[in-house]
């Protein structure tokens, strides 16, 4: 079960890093699909090519949207973490001003509640 989880985590990481490439692939495949439809509509095998390109475009679009979504979630998590650190630092300074005799350990205990 852990092996499957690590595979999924790696795939999601790949989506986060490469979603722009899949979006570009979607646009290229869609453009080729439209071009093939316009120029070569009288051949029977062109239908297979158009369907294949449409499937490729759909797959690229799905992967690009997944990557964009996970990239957005990572950016929100990072922003929240940065805000949390800034708030914690401001709280620490406030406690130091209110109680200048507190040691760092006492301030940490006061802030974390432990």
Positive/negative CA dihedral, 108, 79, 61, 28: negative
- What does the block give as tokens for 2? 């852990």
Buried b (16+ CB within 10 A) or exposed e, 81-99: eeeeeeeeeeeeeebeeee
Closest CA to 71 of 17, 5, 6, 26: 17
Could you tell me the pTM of the whole model? 0.51
Q: What is the mean pLDDT of the chain?
A: 76
User: pLDDT tens digit string along 65-112?
Assistant: 777 787 788 888 888 888 888 888 888 888 888 888 888 888 888 777
- In three-state form (DSSP H/G/I as H, E/B as E, the rest C), the secondary structure along 39-85 is HCCCCCHHHHHHHHHHHHHHHHHHHHHHHHHHHHHHHHHHHHHHHHH
């Amino acid at each position: 079960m852990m092996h499957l989880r690590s595979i999924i985590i790696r795939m999601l990481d790949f989506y986060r890093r490469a979603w722009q490439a899949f979006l570009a692939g979607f646009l290229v495949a869609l453009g080729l699909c439209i071009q093939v439809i316009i120029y070569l509509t009288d051949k029977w095998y062109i239908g297979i090519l158009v369907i294949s390109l449409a499937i490729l475009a759909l797959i690229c679009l799905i992967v690009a949207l997944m990557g964009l979504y996970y990239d957005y979630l990572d950016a929100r998590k990072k922003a929240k973490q940065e805000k949390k650190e800034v708030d914690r630092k401001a709280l620490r300074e406030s406690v130091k001003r209110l109680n200048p005799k507190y040691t760092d350990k006492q301030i940490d205990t006061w802030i974390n509640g432990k």
